[in-house]
Amino acid sequence: AKGKGKGRQVTYAAEMDQRTAEQSRLAADLRVALDADQLTLLYQPIVHMPGGELYGVEALIRWNHPARGPIGPDVFIPAAERTGLIVPLGAWILEEACRQAMAWRTSLGDAAPRTVTVNVSARQLREAGFASDVAAVLQRTGLPPSTLTIEVTETAVFDGGSALAEVRAISALGVKIALDDFGTGHSSLGLLRTCPADVLKVDKSFVDDVTSGGQQAVVVAALIGICEGMGLRAVAEGVETAEQAAELQRLGYRYAQGFHYGHPMPASAVATYRPAPAGN
Ligand code: C2E
Ligand code: CA
Ligand code: CA
Ligand code: CA
């Protein structure tokens, strides 16, 4: 058994080397992609229950690699983080999302998404002056700060350096702060105590359990109470079925995001998004 363990370790190390090399290749390609129009943002509806009307959208990046086809962010964001490329990439994402948000406000008026949320990674948050970059983008695009939401994870906020100070400075601009993947970290309640927050995004892993009688269902029920008590907006992530949506509403949830309501879609489709007919 010992020998087997060792062999497993060697394989693991080799796999890690391979993955690192793969990430370096990806990062090199990504540098090109950033200048070559291979990156686009899709927008996933965040809806109001029970009707499913559009409340906001989350910007999610996609990379259409010329040789390999579409590559998901779960693959290339870590590579971009490791190489620091996430800093210029993240700046592009923020600017593009704010520009789009402003375009919706101009063309759709009251029907425009009320908030556009942008994911920000640990590496971006660690850059001193990140909050001033956000302020500059808002100025350039003319987007009202209160219509932008920045999504941060516990890992990113507690990453050290000036991360927490940057989040506070962004919040002071009037931009909304959402705590992403809430509940999956080590110190979720600690995060609530130290980090300014307007929105709590309850991670899909908990939502998955609400109808399956899993243990995490009790967490979903408790989190809505915390949100109500603290004046936070709770958004249930990864809602895939009508049953989950019904159970979440029974627990008091009013906002949801997930394939049941809409997949990430191009900006043009957001303009025509309508809730699915009831009973769907
Ligand atoms: P996330 O921020 O937690 O985003 C939600 C992910 O769940 C998205 O995957 C979305 O497509 C997926 N999703 C939404 N609803 C459902 C559902 O009902 N079922 C299932 N199975 N999945 C659902 P995506 O777009 O592949 O993004 C993965 C992760 O990559 C994101 O997780 C986020 O951490 C990161 N990411 C995506 N775009 C950006 C970006 O622009 N900047 C940064 N820094 N990270 C990004
Ligand atoms: Ca997110
Ligand atoms: Ca999430
Ligand atoms: Ca996630």
- With a CB cutoff of 8 Å and minimum separation 6, the contacts of 96 are 41, 59
**Distance from the alpha carbon of residue 235 to the mean position of ligand 3, in angstroms:** 10
Cα gap 61→244, rounded to integer Å: 26
Cα gap 85→68, rounded to integer Å: 20
pLDDT of residue 160: 79
- Does the pLDDT at position 26 exceed 50? yes
- Does the pLDDT at position 120 exceed 60? yes
**Distance from the alpha carbon of residue 236 to the mean position of ligand 1, in angstroms:** 13
pLDDT of residue 209: 92
73 in ligand 1 pocket by Cβ < 6 Å? yes
Beta bridge partners of 71: 63
81 in ligand 1 pocket by Cβ < 6 Å? no
Q: Is the dihedral of CA 183, 188, 189, 191 positive or negative?
A: negative
Atom of ligand 1 lying closest to residue 124 CA: 44
Atom of ligand 1 lying closest to residue 264 CA: 11
Tokens of 11: 């394989």
- Does the pLDDT at position 162 exceed 70? yes
- Does the pLDDT at position 121 exceed 70? yes
* Residue 256 pLDDT grade (very low, low, confident, very high; cuts 50, 70, 90): very high
Over residues 193-205, the mean pLDDT reads 96
* Residue 20 pLDDT grade (very low, low, confident, very high; cuts 50, 70, 90): confident
Over residues 100-116, the mean pLDDT reads 97
Query: By mean pLDDT, which of 11-15, 167-171, 249-253 is the weakest?
Result: 11-15
Give the pTM: 0.93
Biggest distance spanned by C-alpha atoms of the chain: 67
* Arithmetic mean of pLDDT over the chain: 92
Q: Name the nearest CA neighbour of 257 among 174, 184, 182.
A: 182
Percent of the chain with pLDDT over 90: 76
264 in ligand 1 pocket by Cβ < 6 Å? yes
